[in-house]
Amino acid sequence: MIPQLPSFRAAMLAMLLFITLPTFAFLPGDKNTPEKVSKVGVYQGYTEAAYNGFSYSSLYLPMRDSVQIATDIFLPKGLKDGEKIPTILYITRYGRSLKAKWPMSWLKNPILVVVDEKEVQYFTSHGYAVLIVDARGTGASSSRRTMEFSPEEVADGGEIVDWIISQPWSNGKVGTSGISYGATTAEQLLFNQHPAVKSCIPRSGIFDLYNHLMFPGGVRQAQFIDIWGYTTRSLDQNNLSVFGKKAKRLIKGIQPVEGDKGGKIQKHNIEVHKGNFDVYDGIYGVVCREDKHPEMLRSSDVYSNHCNADRIGSCGAGIYRMGGWYDGGLAKSLIEGFWNTGNTEKVLIGPWDHGPADNASPFSPTTDLEFDIYAEMLRYFDYHLKGIENEVLNDDKLYYYVVGAETWKSTNVWPPAYVEDQPLYLSTNNTLVSQANEMQTGTNIYPINFEANTDSHSRWNSVTALYKHGPTTYGNRKEASAALLHYDFAPFTADVEMTGSPIAHLFVSANNKNADVFVYIEDVHPDGTVYMVTEGMLRGAHRKVSEDTDKYKQIGPYHSYTREDMEYLAPGEVTEFALDLLPIAYQFKKGHQLRISIAGTDNLHFDLPKEDVSTELQLHCSPQYPSRIVLPLAKGSL
């Protein structure tokens, strides 16, 4: 129970929150601005808040194999005996709640971070129970962790739902949500096909673990994996000093379960957690989709959501996917999740980074989200869990933000019907032309700059805790872009919208057997400033385009990333790199220019191949080798 605080205690609590929250903003949890009004213009027919405050309790839920799952339970304060309400379930591996050191623990207990207390307060006030649980092998839960997203962890979700619907306050209906890892576990709860689970709202979820997160375009995102692994190892050992001196001074650690006197059970569990596997250890043995992590003895495809799309799509629960254009590679998860699961009823894509936490549009005067995400979630949950006919499914399926135009649009298909493919051809005089016969033919040589990168405020930095260095914004890339091999289109004579996934077809030769190609679309303003629009990359050994696309519908040219299709480059031989860039909705302004820039590395975010790395790329432009970028432009734009 959260008591009414006297003024002194309230003042002390405010001080605690002021001191601690900036520290824990680094945790991979929620950050929303629920006060803002939705700009989508959707029907706002959700229920009014009927409760004020919540009661808190915690317990261990025993699983079929005797593993004990630490569970926090939040119920609306004032819930009447016999009253039945739906439940929203969150499954996290980052610690369900924290305990402050005394005397701060007297003021605030527990401290919620991964699921923001504002979120818990919001949904309990609207008549929902909220459960937040530590996945097995993490937090206060028991067991040693042998992998992420394990089959055992998925099965736990079904047993937790069994317990929920057996409670006297449950109406027998469960929804699930979360951010990042929690979004992915929310969708994996659907693997169980439990009839009580009616709806799922994954935010910044990971649909394809290999291509959308760990190896975009087959290029290892090792810096992220290293920092994420370091963060989770620290959390698993109840070491919050990783988040700074304030955390070490003020926070005792993971919140023990009530009844665990002296935290003896939790201490034992954390000792066991010291033997958890290390995701980073052995990651260099993984190159292809089917490669097994040496500790997990499984490939990522075994437990990736995209390989379980049939189970997800036939589970009977509705899905509302939410995320942002600047969310690492996870904008692809929104689109490909929509394409591959027939029960994805809604998709929301804002100008946001991971979480979403910040508005990353270079045209926005604020980093605030300016969108009431909680209210949008509520009307979806109200429809599925309370049976309220609020017209949520009468809207178009996809709502998306057009960066630059700074407005929302909607569609039922992706890409939208008003878009058509427009090729622009690369010409050796560093220009882009709309007709192949306008190309200046020949070869451009690019000595690879191994210091090239997309800075530490890029979309890739937003995807986990300690990797983020402030708001996601690339800033002016004038100098960085000028140092790359780049090609400019003529200034636009009118505003031009690009919505969808650009596809690059580049004919390249390299001077060694390994090479990566990074492709950027940039917006060159009349004053010479340059801003990132979108980007894509491809490892040369994974360049083969496969015809076997039946299992999984991907954006752009289909790369299997398997050993069967893997082929190293022949030095000096021209070969095609066909790759998709991350989806985006972006409006280029009249007088601006579209630029294509090409690099051989992004050294802040992606690893080079192990050996035999090329030091030079040659890009070929001719009728035989028509290097081009195919842009999804509004019809009649050019």
In this predicted model, what pLDDT tens digit does every residue of 213-223 receive, in sequence order? 999 999 999 99
Asked whether residue 48 carries a pLDDT value surpassing 90, the answer given is no
Write the CATH number of the domain with boundaries 419-634.
Answer: 2.60.120.260
Asked whether residue 18 carries a pLDDT value surpassing 50, the answer given is no
From 126, 293, 306, 354, the catalytic residue? 354
CA contacts within 13 A on the Cβ side of 298: 15
Asked whether residue 122 carries a pLDDT value surpassing 50, the answer given is yes
In this predicted model, what pLDDT tens digit does every residue of 443-466 receive, in sequence order? 999 999 999 999 999 999 999 888
Burial annotation 194-226 (CB, 10 A radius, 16+ → b, else e): bebbbbbbbbbbbbbbbbbbbbbbbbbbbbbbe
Confidence of residue 16 (pLDDT cuts 50, 70, 90): very low
Q: Kindly report the average pLDDT of the chain as a whole number.
A: 91
Give the separation between CA 466 and CA 447, rounded to whole angstroms: 33
Is the backbone peptide bond immediately before 34 cis, with ω within 30 degrees of 0?
Answer: no
Is residue 327 flagged as an active site residue?
Answer: yes
Q: How many CB atoms lie within 10 A of CB 570?
A: 11
Is residue 7 flagged as an active site residue?
Answer: no
345: which 2 tokens?
């009823």
Give the separation between CA 104 and CA 90, rounded to whole angstroms: 26
Give the separation between CA 132 and CA 5, rounded to whole angstroms: 24
Question: Cα 416 vs. chain centroid, distance in angstroms?
Answer: 23
| Every domain of the chain and the residues it spans | 7-41+48-208+238-273+304-319, 419-634
Q: How many CB atoms lie within 10 A of CB 333?
A: 28
Asked whether residue 599 carries a pLDDT value surpassing 80, the answer given is yes
Q: Looking up tokens 């990736």, which residue turns up?
A: 304
Spatial neighbors of 6 by CB under 8 A, at least 6 apart, are: none
From 105, 141, 177, 180, the catalytic residue? 180
Q: What pLDDT score was predicted for residue 284?
A: 83
Q: What pLDDT score was predicted for residue 306?
A: 96
Give percent of the chain with pLDDT exceeding 90: 82
From 327, 358, 516, 523, the catalytic residue? 327
Write the CATH number of the domain with boundaries 7-41+48-208+238-273+304-319.
Answer: 3.40.50
Is residue 180 flagged as an active site residue?
Answer: yes
Q: How many CB atoms lie within 10 A of CB 443?
A: 14
Helix (H, G, I), strand (E, B) or coil at 90: strand
